Chain A
Amino acid sequence: MQDFLFSGWGAFWVTLFMLMPFAAMLAYIVYRKSVFDTGPGTTPVKTLSKMEGIWLTFVFVFFVGINLGSLKYMPYIAEARAATSGLPLQEIDVTAKSWGYEMSSRQVEAGRPVRFSGRSVDTQHGFAVYHPDGRMLFTMLLMDGLKQPTTVVHTFKEPGTYKVRCLEYCGIAHHVMLDELTVVKSN
């Protein structure tokens, strides 16, 4: 459940969760107070203030809860966990240039953390890795002229062929800037 929540589709449903009750309430209040009963409200201000407090408390708790729940899925945290796991990191150096990638290796083992270190040598590029089922697993923003590479540590769970795409518009052949990674079973 939590894994789904912090995926792309999880983001979509959380957004709908924020929109739908609000939209329904807006429609109800506008209908009720413009068609059904246009007279002044009889709800005491004190009651409204109490509702305001409950509402703001709910929003605050929801916001904090969601963000705390996401900590586990933040790549920065994943990097720290990989460093303390005792498992040796697999290192892949990536160089992006319009419109392709040079990679130090295109094969990694499942279950072992991989550190991708990416650089660009011309304009901005992305390095997004897609699961074979089409989900995006992560992306990196690569920019020219920096001393250190952009990095992500990711542990692939399943073997398969993973697509790599540039997600930063980089000119007229941006959509053909594609590559692949092969994830094999761990020894």
Chain B
Amino acid sequence: MSIASTLVHNTPIFGKMFSVDKSTGLEDINAWPALMIMASFIWLAVAGLLGIVMPVTQIFDLNTDWFYTTLTLHGAALAFPFGFQLMVGVGLHRSGGCVGKPVTGIFPALTFITMNLGAAILTVAVLMGFKVSLVVMFPLPLVGAQMGIWSMTTVIVGFTGIYLVLASMILFYPILVLKMLFFGKKQPELVLSERSLNDPGMLGMVLAALTLLVAGTPLVVVGTTLLLALYGVIPMAMAAWAAKPIVFQYSFYIFAHNMMEAMALMVTSAMYATLPLYLADGTRKLFSNKLANLALWILLLTSVTSFLHHFITFYPNQPSALSYWGNIMSWGTGIGAALSIFTVFATIWQHGLRAEPGIIAVLIAWALYILDGASAVVTSNIAWAYVLHGTMWQSGHTMTVILAMALMWMGVLYHHYPVMTGRKLDPTVGWWFVWLFTVGSFGAALSMLAGGAAGMPRRFAAWNQEGWMIYGNLTLFFGLILGAAFVVYAYSLLKSRDLSVAVGRQPVAA
């Protein structure tokens, strides 16, 4: 039994949900993915509870420190060790089964360890007082230490945690994906459903991995320099260039923006890969692979430089020409989305659909992603950026992309779960999950976007200043529905039944 399988097996409650089926000889593509998915659900439980604390502190007028603590922890836990790790776990299992390569060796271990250890260290730092929000807000960490809000030790601990998480996302995971897809010998016994890079489902995964690696490299250089200075390995003067707010902010957003775009590429490619498996006529083909691939390339090419929209309100420090470019490229991503909309509609129209909870979750996640895309391009327009930047609109946008991605991968997991664990999920419970998630996620997203439209500031512990509490209450209401959806999903995992006595019908191939 591999270390990963043993860890899953020995973890209480969550381990029962993801214990690996060792009878099929597929442990090499199941063990590390199962461990990553299990860990992501543990972080989801933490993030979910913290998410509820945020509006509760405001409704009951509790200590604002709690709001900023939970804000930082909730955002970080939801985005990285939950959302990103879930994507990594399911995606690695899927690609392993598509190319017949094992998910074993040092890179899956490093990806897992750095992500979870880093997130745990960051959690400790936040509990020590390091309240810097999900996006660090550099130079706030250093200014906070100078002002005595938190200690320099806390900054070092926090940066160490962030650095490890980034190493997982920018280095180890992309290298692992590229290694699996381009190097090593194929093991025929691991092939579940062979796919090549011409397949849109695989192309998106490669583009996403390359995006993370390339767009993340500047931040790795800046982060390494700062961390070496914080640990005293190099003099602080040598790191002065990296500590300049403008250097850190641009390198941060080149990565953070493109990380979201990489996840969007993965969302689209996962939908392209999963939809054909559920077509009613059994054709297993998209309406047009060329159109689907074109959509991915347009998304990639337009999104890479659209990060400039994060600095539209920074004029003239960001020249207007760059802001116009960011504006145009952001709307260009909409052309890619329009192509994917047509491909999906035409595919279902031509071939029919076997509606099961997994594929409907995938399609609803994709619809949520379209809502997120619409909110993103709107706020990337220069005129709207000036009346929306810094409001709950942006928080709604960020939360929506994470929820879309989470639902997408949870839907895809419905498909892969039997291969991974040898057990099946109850479709009746699955439908409950899908509808609860749909109501909760769209409701929460629209409530937050409405709050932004009304000028409600994000990362702000006084929603009662202008009567914005209504949007907070609505977000809490839909957030609780969303929480119920996650509980139902966890219940279905806990109550999954052995394949021999399974209910419902699901295709087993990857």
Chain A residues positioned under 8 Å from B280 (CB to CB): 33-34, 38-39
Q: How far is the CA of A141 from the CA of B461 in the complex (A)?
A: 20
Chain A residues positioned under 8 Å from B7 (CB to CB): none
B389 within 8 A of A: yes
**Among the listed A6, A7, A175, which residue makes an inter-chain contact with B460, where contact means beta carbons less than 8 Å apart?**
A175
B231 within 8 A of A: no
B498 within 8 A of A: no
Chain A residues positioned under 8 Å from B291 (CB to CB): 52
Contact mask for chain A residues 31-53; partner B; CB cutoff 8 A; 1 contact, 0 none = 00111011111010000100110
Q: Which of B46-54, B104-112, B132-140, B480-488 lies on the face that meets chain A? A: B132-140
Chain B residues positioned under 8 Å from A52 (CB to CB): 291, 342, 346
Q: Are A39 and B352 in contact (CB under 8 A)?
A: yes
Chain B residues positioned under 8 Å from A48 (CB to CB): 287, 346, 349-350
Chain A residues positioned under 8 Å from B465 (CB to CB): 175
Given A59-B338, A143-B246, A172-B65, check contact A123 B137 (CB 8 Å).
yes
A174 within 8 A of B: yes
B382 within 8 A of A: yes
Contact mask for chain B residues 147-166; partner A; CB cutoff 8 A; 1 contact, 0 none = 10100000000000000000
Q: Are A56 and B393 in contact (CB under 8 A)?
A: no
Q: Are A137 and B387 in contact (CB under 8 A)?
A: yes
Q: Which of A130-187 contact B (CB under 8 A)?
A: 130, 134-141, 143-146, 148, 150-152, 165, 167-172, 174-176
Closest to B135 in A: A169
Closest to A137 in B: B387
Contact mask for chain B residues 341-382; partner A; CB cutoff 8 A; 1 contact, 0 none = 110111011111111000010010001001100110111011
Q: Are A55 and B137 in contact (CB under 8 A)?
A: no
Closest to B379 in A: A11
Interface size counted on chain A using CB atoms at 8 A: 76
Q: Which of B25-33, B92-100, B180-188, B314-322 lies on the face that meets chain A? A: B314-322
**Among the listed A11, A56, A130, A175, which residue makes an inter-chain contact with B378, where contact means beta carbons less than 8 Å apart?**
A11
Closest to B247 in A: A145
**Among the listed A71, A73, A141, which residue makes an inter-chain contact with B389, where contact means beta carbons less than 8 Å apart?**
A141
- Say how far A141's CB is from chain B's closest CB, in angstroms: 4
Q: How far is the CA of A14 from the CA of B462 in the complex (A)?
A: 28
Chain A residues positioned under 8 Å from B274 (CB to CB): none
B335 within 8 A of A: yes
Q: Are A11 and B370 in contact (CB under 8 A)?
A: no
Q: How far is the CA of A145 from the CA of B374 in the complex (A)?
A: 34
- Say how far B472's CB is from chain A's closest CB, in angstroms: 13
Q: Which of B162-214 contact A (CB under 8 A)?
A: none
- Say how far B284's CB is from chain A's closest CB, in angstroms: 13
Q: How far is the CA of A135 from the CA of B388 in the complex (A)?
A: 10
Q: Are A30 and B367 in contact (CB under 8 A)?
A: no
How many residue pairs, one in A and one in B, have C-beta atoms under 8 Å apart? Answer: 245
Q: How far is the CA of A14 from the CA of B390 in the complex (A)?
A: 19
Q: Which of B459-485 contact A (CB under 8 A)?
A: 459-462, 465-467
**Among the listed A73, A137, A168, which residue makes an inter-chain contact with B137, where contact means beta carbons less than 8 Å apart?**
A168
Chain B contact patch, size range: 35 or more
- Say how far A65's CB is from chain B's closest CB, in angstroms: 11
Chain A residues positioned under 8 Å from B40 (CB to CB): none
**Among the listed A26, A37, A74, A124, which residue makes an inter-chain contact with B383, where contact means beta carbons less than 8 Å apart?**
A74
Most chain A Cβ neighbours within 10 Å, of B335, B455, B457, B462 = B455
Closest to B461 in A: A175
B251 within 8 A of A: no
- Say how far B364's CB is from chain A's closest CB, in angstroms: 9
Q: Are A136 and B455 in contact (CB under 8 A)?
A: yes
- Say how far B264's CB is from chain A's closest CB, in angstroms: 16
Q: Are A67 and B352 in contact (CB under 8 A)?
A: no
- Say how far A176's CB is from chain B's closest CB, in angstroms: 7
Q: Which of A1-36 contact B (CB under 8 A)?
A: 6-12, 14-15, 18-19, 22-23, 25-26, 29-30, 33-35
Q: Are A33 and B353 in contact (CB under 8 A)?
A: yes
Chain B residues positioned under 8 Å from A70 (CB to CB): 381-384
Q: How far is the CA of A122 from the CA of B139 in the complex (A)?
A: 8
Chain A residues positioned under 8 Å from B354 (CB to CB): 34, 38
Given A11-B379, A140-B313, A172-B68, check contact A25 B455 (CB 8 Å).
no
Q: Are B245 and A143 in contact (CB under 8 A)?
A: yes
Closest to B466 in A: A134
Q: Are B455 and A55 in contact (CB under 8 A)?
A: no
Q: Are B457 and A167 in contact (CB under 8 A)?
A: yes
Q: Are A8 and B246 in contact (CB under 8 A)?
A: no
Most chain B Cβ neighbours within 10 Å, of A25, A98, A148 = A98
B64 within 8 A of A: yes
Given A15-B371, A30-B355, check contact A139 B313 (CB 8 Å).
yes
Chain A residues positioned under 8 Å from B137 (CB to CB): 123-124, 168-170
- A residues near B, CB below 8 A? 6-12, 14-15, 18-19, 22-23, 25-26, 29-30, 33-35, 37-41, 43, 48, 51-52, 55-56, 59-60, 63, 66-67, 70-76, 98, 122-124, 126, 128, 130, 134-141, 143-146, 148, 150-152, 165, 167-172, 174-176
Enumerate the 9 nearest inter-chain pairs by beta-carbon distance, A residue then B residue, closest first. A167-B390, A73-B383, A169-B459, A34-B355, A12-B453, A136-B455, A70-B383, A18-B374, A8-B453
Other A-B pairs, 6, CB within 8 Å; known A26-B367, A63-B334, A134-B466 = A8-B384, A55-B342, A70-B384, A136-B388, A139-B387, A172-B131
A to B CB contacts below 8 Å, 17 in the list: A8-B388, A11-B453, A33-B348, A33-B349, A33-B353, A35-B355, A40-B352, A55-B341, A67-B381, A70-B383, A72-B383, A75-B386, A128-B457, A144-B139, A150-B314, A167-B391, A171-B149
